[in-house]
Structure 1
């Protein structure tokens, strides 16, 4: 079975994060700040694409997150992404999430710890930087 390369890249906006999903190579990245006015409209197509990509066999996945800020609507979208990745990992796909945070940002570190508690199958790593 051959699949076409699938790459999604969305530049960061004033209120939205940079998104880079390379499903062919299993590399996903979300960075910047995330508080779009309509989080459902922003994340909805991404969630659908992730679901579609995870429905077929593929490479190991690595999601790198480096967020300076996100609002509650974005947190819900992140949880939806995380749940899809957890489900894929439970079915045997190797999935790693790297939560990057600045060493001075206690809030983002705490969010990383909170999210990490929700996983049994995904490898979730806290990655501090200075």
Structure 2
């Protein structure tokens, strides 16, 4: 399985995966012109990781802004993680946000409501 290392742009987040350690990291703003096309490799990576291993999956997000289509993709990723957790997999998420960005912390809280796996939301001055 190939890892991803997609550089951030003004409208897309940095995405980095580590298959051997089971980590998906995303940080930055997310309002790509075509979110479904942009995030498809990430969704494919998550599905492949969950399908090919029994290792824990760790999601690490430091997303600052998400548009509506990015939110839908995040829901897809979290749905995959939730399904794996319900099937007995070790899955967790840490979402870092800047304290002055209440909108992102509220969004993370909304996502957390739909997840039963460990989901921590932490304030960080720098992301």
What SS does structure 1 have at the residue aligned with 2:88? coil
2:46 paired with 1:84 = no
**CA distance in 1: counterparts of 2:19 and 2:42, whole angstroms:** 12
* 1:100-111 equivalent positions in 2, closer than 5 A: 100-111=96-107
1:73 aligns with 2:34: no
Q: Which runs of 4+ in 1 moved over 2 A?
A: none
Unaligned regions of 5+ residues in structure 1, if any? none
Measure, in 1, the Cα distance between the counterparts of 2:41 and 2:14.
15
State the 1:44 CA deviation: 1.5
Per the alignment, residue 122 of structure 2 pairs with 127
Rounded to whole Å, the distance in 1 between the matches of 2:84 and 2:17 is: 16
Specify the alignment match of 2:57 in structure 1.
61
Tell me if structure 2 keeps the 8 A contact 1:7–1:24: no
TM-score norm. by structure 2 comes to 0.92
Q: What's 2:8 paired with?
A: 12
State the Cα distance separating 1:41 from its structure 2 match.
Answer: 0.9
Aligned pair count reads 125
SS in 2 for 1:7: coil
Contiguous gaps of at least 5 residues in structure 2: none
RMSD across aligned positions (CA): 1.2
